[in-house]
Every structure is written in structure tokens, then in C-alpha cells.
């Protein structure tokens, strides 16, 4: 597929620049980048901040079960804190915590360290706080603010890589919800809406490459928050037309929950048939950027983590609680 091939090439360029410490303005070019920034500034004026800057306080212990609690930390931007919802129980962090507790049959201690408006460069401060809890698993929602600010994709990916590595070194499993499809945001007008869609997916693919290489796993939000959000904006977006509604947050949380459980060994991993599921990382990343709820995780082939085209990865399509291998 031509689109996937382009996304794969862009992901490789961005990830390579991130690894080498290069900047690289953007995979879309300086002209498109400048137009996008101008459009995003206009969109921000339209969107405003009707909900304030914080989501509802949701730290605490969830699940009335016996045993030693599992510790879950939530990091990232406004979507990680549930900006726009009024009740803690409707935030993605609490939805994931309650779901994890029910599956593990253990209580879950939740610490939310995300911040509205945060870009990938601001994750380091959140990690400093999160690792103090010695988390079993960390969930990160990030990427949108990297698109609508002047953060070069390679810089964003480099910060995300450091985040995942630090969390893994602290003993936590890591699941990253990649950059959502900002092409569905109505205040961003055409013709630049298609630009944001392309850029969002290229960044999501590069995030996947970096996260898997650092030992985490990703869940693609691009397509998940795409068609249904575009078709039913009144139900999936909140009043500001930018942040998700209660239903939108729930869809994101339940897309991530199976991957969180699988990372902790609480949910069986699918067993791909011979030749299915296993892909070079760049191809898996490009495919995931276009497939709703798709998880990409590191794997080995014949005992080797890398092949002739880079690191091996396994791509799983998870829908409605089912885990289907790639076909």
C-alpha cells in the first residue's frame, strides 16, 4: 500500500534522526509545517480552554479485592488525565485501573502524573514522580501536543524513548497510546486537516518504532479515534470539539486495557500462525498507524531480536476484547 510505504519511510527517517540526535524539521516539510502551526494557533483560539487545565483528581486505590495492590501510573497529556470529564470514574486512568483490578482480582493503586498541554519533552518530570511509586505498569498517552506545537518529530520521539527506557529500568511494563488522528478535529480546517492526519500517523509510526525498541508496546490511537470520531463528533468529542467526551475516553481506555493486562501476564498473548503477526518493525509500525486498536510489541525470531530489515515485532489486532493475530 502506497500510504503505508510512505508512513514506513517517514517513521524510519524520524526514528533514525531521533537515535542520532538530529533535529529534522518535520517529515512534511517546512512549508506545510509553517501552515500547520498557523492553523493550529487559529484552532486553539476557537477551542479555548473551557474545562480549565486539570482533570478530576483520580489517584487512589481501586478494586475491592484482597492481596497486594498492583501499581499503575498514568503519564502524558490532557487525554491521560481525562480533561473535560467531571467524574474521576470516567477518566481513562480509572477505567483502566478498574478493569485491571477486575482481571487481576487484586486491588490497583493508581497514580496519575499526566499534565494538560504536555508534549513528549515534558515527560521526564512526570517520570521522576512516577518511578517513586515503583510501578508495575505505566500507561502513556502522548503525541497530539507534539503535532500542534513546534516540536520536531525526531525530538519528540527521542524524549519518548528516554521515558520508556527509564520506566523499564524502574521495573515497569510500558504501554503507549500513540498520537491520535488530529485530522478529525473540526476546528482545524481543510485543506490542512489532511496534513495533520498524515503528520499524526507518521509520528505515531515513529513512536511505535521507538517504544518497541526500548522494550515497551504500543496501541494505535490514530484509526481508533478516526472514523467514529469523524462520523459521530457530537458523541465522541467533548464540548470544546477537541478533547474526547466520556464515550471517547472510554473507547481509548478499553483499547489499551488488553495490552496492559497482556504486558503483566494476566491476559494470554495470541499465537500467530506461521508467517503471520511477525513483521519488521517499520512495516508493523506503518500498519498499526492505520489500524484501530492495533498493538505492536517486541519479539524474537529464531532467538534474534533483529533481522535484515531491523527489529522484529509482532502486530496484534485487538477489537472488542478479542485478540486476533495479523493476517
All three cell numbers of 158, joined, read 527521542
Q: Which residues contact 185 (CB under 8 A, 6 or more apart)?
A: 43, 193, 196, 241, 242
Under a CB-based contact definition with an 8 Å cutoff, are residues 205 and 289 in contact?
yes
| Phi, psi dihedral angles at 322 (to 5 degrees) | -90, 150
How far does the chain reach from its first CA to its final CA, in angstroms? 15
CA 324/CA 316 separation, integer angstroms: 6
Q: Which residues contact 276 (CB under 8 A, 6 or more apart)?
A: 325, 326, 327
CA 284/CA 274 separation, integer angstroms: 16
- 5-39 in b/e burial notation, b at 16+ Cβ within 10 A? ebbbebbbbbbebbeeeeeeebbbeeebbeebeeb
Residues annotated as part of the active site: 78, 240, 243
CA 169/CA 206 separation, integer angstroms: 22
DSSP annotation string for 267-295: SPPP-PPTTSSEEEHHHHHHHHTTSTTEE
Q: Is 96 helix (H, G, I), strand (E, B) or coil?
A: helix
Under a CB-based contact definition with an 8 Å cutoff, are residues 158 and 21 in contact?
yes
Neighbours of 327 (CB within 10 A): 9
Q: Beta strand 310-319 with 294-298: parallel, antiparallel or unpaired?
A: antiparallel
315 - beta bridge partners? 296
Amino acid at each position: 500500500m502506497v500510504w503505508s510505504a510512505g508512513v514506513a519511510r517517514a517513521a524510519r527517517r524520524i526514528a533514525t534522526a531521533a537515535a542520532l540526535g538530529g533535529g529534522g524539521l518535520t517529515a512534511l516539510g517546512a512549508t506545510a509545517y509553517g501552515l500547520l502551526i498557523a492553523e493550529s494557533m487559529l484552532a486553539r483560539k476557537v477551542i479555548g480552554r473551557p474545562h480549565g487545565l486539570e482533570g478530576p483528581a483520580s489517584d487512589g486505590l481501586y478494586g475491592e479485592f484482597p492481596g497486594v495492590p498492583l501499581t499503575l501510573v498514568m503519564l502524558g497529556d490532557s487525554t491521560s488525565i481525562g480533561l473535560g470529564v467531571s467524574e474521576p470514574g470516567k477518566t481513562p486512568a480509572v477505567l483502566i485501573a478498574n478493569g485491571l483490578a477486575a482481571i487481576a482480582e487484586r486491588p490497583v493503586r493508581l497514580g496519575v502524573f499526566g499534565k494538560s498541554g504536555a508534549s513528549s519533552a515534558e515527560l521526564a518530570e512526570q517520570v521522576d514522580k512516577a518511578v517513586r511509586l515503583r510501578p508495575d505498569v505505566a500507561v502513556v498517552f502522548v503525541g497530539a501536543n507534539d503535532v500542534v506545537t513546534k516540536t520536531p518529530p525526531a525530538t519528540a520521539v527521542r524524549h519518548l524513548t528516554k521515558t520508556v527506557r527509564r520506566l523499564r529500568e524502574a521495573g515497569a511494563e510500558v504501554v503507549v497510546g500513540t498520537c491520535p488522528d488530529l485530522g478529525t478535529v473540526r476546528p482545524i480546517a481543510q485543506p490542512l486537516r489532511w496534513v495533520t492526519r498524515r503528520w499524526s500517523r507518521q509520528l505515531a509510526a515513529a513512536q511505535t518504532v521507538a517504544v518497541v525498541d526500548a522494550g515497551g508496546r504500543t496501541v494505535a490511537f490514530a484509526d481508533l479515534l478516526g472514523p467514529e470520531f469523524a462520523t459521530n463528533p457530537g458523541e465522541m468529542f467533548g464540548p470544546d470539539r477537541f478533547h474526547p467526551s466520556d464515550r471517547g475516553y472510554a473507547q481509548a481506555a478499553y483499547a489499551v486495557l488488553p495490552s496492559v493486562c497482556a504486558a503483566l501476564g494476566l491476559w494470554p498473548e495470541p499465537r500467530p500462525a506461521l508467517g503471520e503477526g511477525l513483521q519488521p518493525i517499520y512495516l508493523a509500525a506503518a500498519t498499526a498507524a492505520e489500524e484501530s486498536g492495533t498493538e505492536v510489541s517486541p519479539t524474537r525470531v529464531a532467538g534474534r531480536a533483529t533481522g535484515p530489515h531491523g527489529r522484529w515485532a509482532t502486530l496484534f489486532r485487538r477489537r472488542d476484547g478479542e485478540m486476533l493475530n495479523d493476517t
